[in-house]
């Protein structure tokens, strides 16, 4: 079976945010697949529930032999092992791991929606994704990630703060 290429948005806004990104990256490498590219780290104000600390976000491009649902299960397990508590929707979190895309797959199950349904509306995901894969075609929108970014109306300021979390 040929490995999948997956694009994972990692982020968080509690604790040592840089250390949490580095830990998540290490755990993803150990439990999910090989990181073959990564974006810079970006800082963004909270989306949805705005009265909380700013988030740091980064996109990891990985190759994995895990089936998509198993990849999602492993990411949820990593979140839990790092202390993620799902108590408030859009609330503060130590780590958040979202699958944005897996190859050109379209998946909609109870556990997993790929491509991530909110991707075209969120600059904090599109900007780091366009850094690692600007010409990647969104399998539903049929547009390159760079085109989705240009068309995105999200007004949150997304600021590059470092070239890498490590």
67-94 residue pLDDT tens: 999 999 999 999 999 988 766 666 788 9
Q: Which of 16, 54, 96, 103 is catalytic?
A: 96
The pLDDT, as a whole number, for residue 159 is 96
Query: Average pLDDT per run of 10 along the chain, which is 166 residues long?
Result: 94 95 98 97 84 93 97 96 77 91 96 95 96 97 97 93 65
Residue 16's domain is classified under what CATH number?
Answer: 3.30.70.560
Question: Which domain does 17 fall in, by range?
Answer: 4-162
In the residue annotation, 93 being an active-site residue is answered as yes
The pLDDT, as a whole number, for residue 166 is 46
The CA-based dihedral angle spanning residues 70, 146, 50, 8, taken in that order and rounded to the nearest 10 degrees: 20
The pLDDT, as a whole number, for residue 48 is 73
Cβ neighbours of residue 51 closer than 8 Å, sequence gap 6 or more: none
The pLDDT, as a whole number, for residue 146 is 97
The pLDDT, as a whole number, for residue 24 is 98
Query: Helix 17-31 vs helix 68-81: angle between axes, to the nearest 10 degrees?
Result: 140
- The answer to whether the CB of 47 falls within 8 A of the CB of 1 is no
DSSP 38-66: EPPEEEE--SSS-SSPPEEEEEEEEEE-S
Q: Which of 98, 103, 104, 108 is catalytic?
A: 98
Q: Which of 16, 54, 84, 122 is catalytic?
A: 84
Q: How many domains is the chain partitioned into structurally?
A: 1
Q: Which of 93, 108, 135, 154 is catalytic?
A: 93
In the residue annotation, 96 being an active-site residue is answered as yes
Token output for 127 = 């900007």
- CA nearest 60: which of 75, 44, 45? 75
Give phi and psi for 34, each to the nearest 5: -95, 125
């Amino acid at each position: 079976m040929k490995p999948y290429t997956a694009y994972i948005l990692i982020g968080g806004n509690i604790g040592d945010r840089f250390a949490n990104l580095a830990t998540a990256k290490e755990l993803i490498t150990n439990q999910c697949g090989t990181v073959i590219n990564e974006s810079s780290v970006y800082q963004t104000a909270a989306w949805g529930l705005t009265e909380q600390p700013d988030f740091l976000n980064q996109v990891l491009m990985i190759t994995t032999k895990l089936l998509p649902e198993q990849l999602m299960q492993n990411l949820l397990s990593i979140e839990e092992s790092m202390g993620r508590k799902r108590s408030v929707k859009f609330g503060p979190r130590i780590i958040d791991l979202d699958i944005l895309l897996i190859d050109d797959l379209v998946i909609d199950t109870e556990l997993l929606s790929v491509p991530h349904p909110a991707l075209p509306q969120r600059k904090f995901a599109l900007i780091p994704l366009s850094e690692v894969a600007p010409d990647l075609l969104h399998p539903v929108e049929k547009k390159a990630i760079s085109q989705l970014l240009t068309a995105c109306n999200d007004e949150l300021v997304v600021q590059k703060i470092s070239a890498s979390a490590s």
